[in-house]
Amino acid sequence: MEFQVREISVPNFYLPWVEAAWVSLSLPNEMCILSSVYRIPSSPCQLSSQRVIAEMTQFILCNFPKATLLMTGDFNLPSVFRINRQDVTRSSLEQNPLIQVLTDNFLYQTVTVPTRMCPGQNPSTLDLVITNDREKVIGTQTLSPFGSSDHMPVLSSIQLSSKPSKYTKQSFTNYKMMVEELIDANLEILISDDAEASWLILKNTLLESLAKHTSVTWKKKPKTLPFLVPKIETLCNRKKKFWEKFVKQKTTTVYKKYKIARTLLRKETRKLTVNYEEHLAKNVKENPKLFWKHISLCKPG
């Protein structure tokens, strides 16, 4: 799937306790605007936070009216969870500028379950997924928390015009044969007063030679974490089981068991990662490609 990702600069909207990143994902047939928003829970003014996020959202909607919007993040604004409810009143819209923008532009919030749960506290929906086309968001679900976080990760699937392939395309071109063929080619026909016609002949000659001497293979995408053993899957399932049990029962005893399973999983994955990277470093001379492949996968971006 061919696509281009570009950062979107949203000017003149700033608060030190609101962070947001916006990017455009351009596909052959459509554009998708993705964003990640974070509002610090200890921020002094909830109203000003809502106003800034509302202004950013309105800016994006005005400048990209035909794009699919997927706005995600930890908003720490429990009231925004209710934008799809029928009981949103005019007074609530006046008190919540963000809800007003979302409602006026027919945006939808797809997270319907709590995303933060702690023993002794009421569950709350703080992590949201907001879109202008809910038909394209084909699934929103929550997972058990990562690390020591008390927030549940939200996983959403969005259906765009192209489906990603399970295979990678690799092409191999014999440039030596191309050069030999082009040397023997009759390029004198390019000498013409018509520059456009000469360019088309040259371009077609090069493309035909390139296609002739290029072979294409498709390979299944390799695993990005080859060092993970079956034991890790067992520990992941155990952690998930205790979390789902805690969500149902909300008892401190079950939460402690979940924390033990989480700590054990983190300990084992870190140990396996360190051992794998030490193995790569020791064998870098014998297998440098594997070493640099791992480095490239670890690099951000």
Let me know whether 237 and 144 are in one domain.
no
In a domain, 251, yes or no: yes
Let me know whether 9 and 127 are in one domain.
yes
Amino acid, single-letter form, for residue 7 = E
In a domain, 93, yes or no: yes
Let me know whether 37 and 97 are in one domain.
yes
The sign of the torsion formed by the CA atoms of 50, 54, 10, 31 equals: positive
Bridge partners of 171? 216
Let me know whether 9 and 143 are in one domain.
yes
So what's the pLDDT on residue 260?
92
Rounded to an integer, what distance in angstroms lies between the CA atom of residue 144 and that of residue 246?
Answer: 10
So what's the pLDDT on residue 220?
64
Q: Of 108, 123, 158, which marks where a domain is finished?
A: 158
Tokens at residue 119, please? Answer: 């023993």
3-state SS of 192-226 is: CCCHHHHHHHHHHHHHHHHHHCEEEEEEECCCCCC
Let me know whether 148 and 21 are in one domain.
yes
Residues of the chain falling short of pLDDT 50: 85-91, 301
Rounded to an integer, what distance in angstroms lies between the CA atom of residue 187 and that of residue 205?
Answer: 9
Are 34 and 13 within 8 A, CB to CB? no
Inter-axis angle of helices 175-184 and 195-212, nearest 10:
140
In a domain, 225, yes or no: no
* CATH number of the CATH domain containing 139: 3.60.10.10
Domain total of the chain? 3
Rounded to an integer, what distance in angstroms lies between the CA atom of residue 245 and that of residue 113?
Answer: 15
| Residues 6+ positions from 51 with CB-CB distance below 8 Å | 97, 98
So what's the pLDDT on residue 91?
47
Let me know whether 121 and 11 are in one domain.
yes
Let me know whether 19 and 149 are in one domain.
yes
So what's the pLDDT on residue 161?
65
Q: Of 158, 183, 204, which marks where a domain is finished?
A: 158
So what's the pLDDT on residue 90?
46
In a domain, 99, yes or no: yes
Let me know whether 140 and 260 are in one domain.
no
Range of the domain at 182: 167-220
